[in-house]
Structure 1
Amino acid sequence: MQITSALMTLAFLAVGINAAPAPLNINLGAYSPALVVGDGALTLLDSWER
């Protein structure tokens, strides 16, 4: 009965871990490809004035 209880505990842990939402947006700071564009400057007005 001890083994069955341990297996049930492991099964519930596995279900709980799999049910947890995974973080999809990982912030890499300055190394994020979304932030490093051209020279790295994030300006919106300069691009419209050119």
Structure 2
Amino acid sequence: MKHISVLIPQEENNLSSIVGSYKMLTRANAIWSQKQGTMPYKVEL
């Protein structure tokens, strides 16, 4: 299992970029899990 951290800056940021990356990684994780039975990533914000 690979550990992926999405770092969120404390200052002004673009939330759509952060949420988009998170959704993409969690969706890829779900698809892989359905096909292989294991989760390849642990995604954290």
TM range (shorter): 0.3 to 0.5
Bigger relative contact order (CA 8 A; separation at least 6) = 2
TM-score after normalising by structure 2 = 0.44
Specify the structure having the higher radius of gyration (Cα).
1
**Greater strand proportion:** 2
TM-score after normalising by structure 1 = 0.40
